[in-house]
Amino acid sequence: MTAIELATSNGTRMDDLGADAALAIRAMTVSYGQKPAVFSVDMTVPIGSMTAIIGPNGAGKSTLLKAALGVIKPLAGSATVLGQPVENARARIAYVPQRASVDWDFPTRVLDVVLMGLYRELGLLGRLRGTHKARAMGCLERVGMQDFAKRQIGQLSGGQQQRVFLARALAQNADLYLLDEPFAGVDAATEKAIIDVLQGLRADGKTVVAVHHDLSTVPDYFDRVFLINTTRVAEGTVEEAFTPQTLQEAYGGRLAMGQLGQTALGA
CATH of the domain at 208: 3.40.50.300
pLDDT at 12: 42
Please report the pLDDT score of residue 4 as a whole number.
Answer: 34
In this predicted structure, the answer to whether residue 252 has a pLDDT above a threshold of 90 is no
Contacts of 113 by beta carbon, 8 Å cutoff, 6+ apart: 153, 164, 165, 167, 168
Structural domain of 186: 3-266
Residue 267 pLDDT grade (very low, low, confident, very high; cuts 50, 70, 90) = very low
Q: What is the pLDDT of residue 10?
A: 41
The answer to whether residue 100 scores a pLDDT higher than 80 is no
Cα–Cα distance for residue pair 114/148, rounded to 1 Å: 12
Residue 1 has pLDDT above 80, yes or no: no
With residue 24 as reference, give the H or E element that holds it: strand 21-32
pLDDT by residue (tens digit) across 125-156?
566 677 889 999 999 999 999 999 999 998 99
Quote the mean pLDDT of the chain.
Answer: 87
Q: Structurally, how many domains does the chain consist of?
A: 1
Do residues 56 and 254 lie in contact, with contact meaning Cβ atoms separated by under 8 Å? Answer: yes
2 pLDDT higher than 50: no
Closest CA to 61 of 12, 8, 98: 98
| Residue 166 near residue 85 (C-beta atoms within 8 A) | no
**In this structure, which amino acid lies at residue 237?**
T
Least confident of 155-164, 221-230, 232-241: 155-164
pLDDT attached to residue 33: 82
What is the crossing angle of helices 130-142 and 158-171, to 10°?
130
Q: Are 107 and 155 in contact (CB under 8 A)?
A: no
Residue 6 has pLDDT above 90, yes or no: no
Summarised one tens digit per residue, pLDDT across range 56-78 is 999 999 999 999 999 999 999 99
For residues 116 and 237, the model is more confident at 237
Q: Phi and psi (nearest 5°) for 261?
A: -65, -35
Q: Is 139 exposed, middle or buried (0-12, 13-18, 19+ CB in 10 A)?
A: buried
Average pLDDT over residues 169-178: 96
* Torsion sign, CA atoms 204, 127, 119, 186: negative
